[in-house]
Amino acid sequence: MVFFSSLKNLFSRRDKRTSNASSLQQAASKKKGLAYSNGNQHSSNKSTAANSPANSTTNNSSNGHSFQYKDGRRYHGDSDVAYVLPNDDDEADRVHQQHWILRYALQSNYQAPVTDQLEKGITVLDSGCGPATWTFEMGEAWPNSTFHGIDASCVFPENIKPANVEFVIGNIAKEIPYPDNTFDYVHQRLLLLGLTNDDWENALKELYRVLKPGGYIELAEPDLQDLENMGPILRKLQYTMSDMLKSRNMPNKVACELEDRLIRAGFVNTKLKMTPLKLNHTDKAGKLLWDDYKHGYSNVRPVMAQIVPEWQDAEVYARFLADCGVEAEKNKTNVNWYACYAQKPTQ
């Protein structure tokens, strides 16, 4: 994994969080057999944001380069994109580290039974690829296969990539710019903060169209409403998230709906797996997952504060998140991770 290791260094921040995630990458790499057994140009977001007003909009004629800046953070500027998190370097770094934490905790990059096909060589779509950590690692692990990443914003590197990895900019809820029956396997995860109810329906229609008959689709999401062993402090956090999503016509329990949504979209042979992920307890993975959880909730504070106005004060919100972490550790709270795969009918 020499190529991907160098790429990881390029996009990782050199702080304690990166150091911890690097140790997980090394541990996960040693277990590669288990990990795989189951199943236009990138610009500096930080420098651009630093030279932009606190609240402004920047448009570029190229798709994927329409941004707006709020309180020093960069967000999508496209009104058709529902994504509520920033799309700047800090958020890209968080998603990058999140990949290594999830791979270590789940001991797999996927659940669908596509290992033999990946070895022989297939065409794969990473839907909503973001900074493309999954795409790059899979591309290097399976050199006989071809991987295509698609995202509504240009947050992926285009000039440094394996020869079998390509990217396009596109809104999966509108139109996926590939012909019918292109892909053997479609992978999508962690879009619960990026798709409305209508977007989910439209995206699954498009993914059905571009998937080959008999091909596999896999969706994975966490349940961010009901955690295992959740105390009153975390309950307030999770149900505020739920209320925020519902206020934007976004499904608040989409993780629990993945199988039903796939069936309604026409897919068959569904298989659902739920894995409880430790949150701030028991081992290093649990501690690192909490670091990511806290970071993600910090980045979504502006929209959460629309539901709980006192959270407009960043210090008040930070103290509340710290209390959530203490409660999660005490109660041994878990986040339920749902992964569901299915096939497109052969006829």
Asked if residue 189 is part of any domain, the answer here is yes
pLDDT bucket at 135, cuts 50 / 70 / 90: very high
pLDDT bucket at 52, cuts 50 / 70 / 90: very low
The confidence score (pLDDT) of residue 78 equals: 73
Asked if residue 32 is part of any domain, the answer here is no
Dihedral-angle region of residue 88 (phi above 0 means left; psi in -120 to 50 means alpha; beta otherwise): beta
264 vs 56: which has the higher pLDDT: 264
- Residue of 134, 158, 159 lying closest to 147 (CA atoms): 134
Domain containing 283 equals: 64-344
Find the range with the poorest average confidence among 18-27, 193-202, 218-227.
18-27
The confidence score (pLDDT) of residue 27 equals: 45
Total domains present in the chain: 1
Q: Is the pLDDT of residue 53 over 80?
A: no
Asked if residue 40 is part of any domain, the answer here is no
The confidence score (pLDDT) of residue 87 equals: 86
pLDDT bucket at 160, cuts 50 / 70 / 90: confident
Asked if residue 20 is part of any domain, the answer here is no
Asked if residue 37 is part of any domain, the answer here is no
pLDDT bucket at 336, cuts 50 / 70 / 90: very high
pLDDT in tens, 103-112: 999 999 999 9
Asked if residue 164 is part of any domain, the answer here is yes
d(CA 220, CA 222): 7
Mean pLDDT along residues 68-84 = 79
The confidence score (pLDDT) of residue 207 equals: 98
Q: Is the pLDDT of residue 212 over 60?
A: yes
| pTM for the predicted model, two decimal places | 0.84
Cα dihedral 136, 137, 139, 140, rounded to 10, equals 120
Mean pLDDT along residues 70-94 = 83
Q: CATH code at 196? A: 3.40.50.150
CA 78 → CA 55, 61, 118, distances in Å? 15, 12, 35
pLDDT bucket at 71, cuts 50 / 70 / 90: confident
Residue located via tokens 């649990």: 286
The confidence score (pLDDT) of residue 264 equals: 98
The confidence score (pLDDT) of residue 80 equals: 77
Asked if residue 49 is part of any domain, the answer here is no
The confidence score (pLDDT) of residue 159 equals: 77
Mean pLDDT along residues 94-121 = 96
Asked if residue 14 is part of any domain, the answer here is no
How many CB atoms sit inside 10 A of residue 300's CB?
Answer: 17
Average pLDDT, the chain: 85
2 vs 313: which has the higher pLDDT: 313
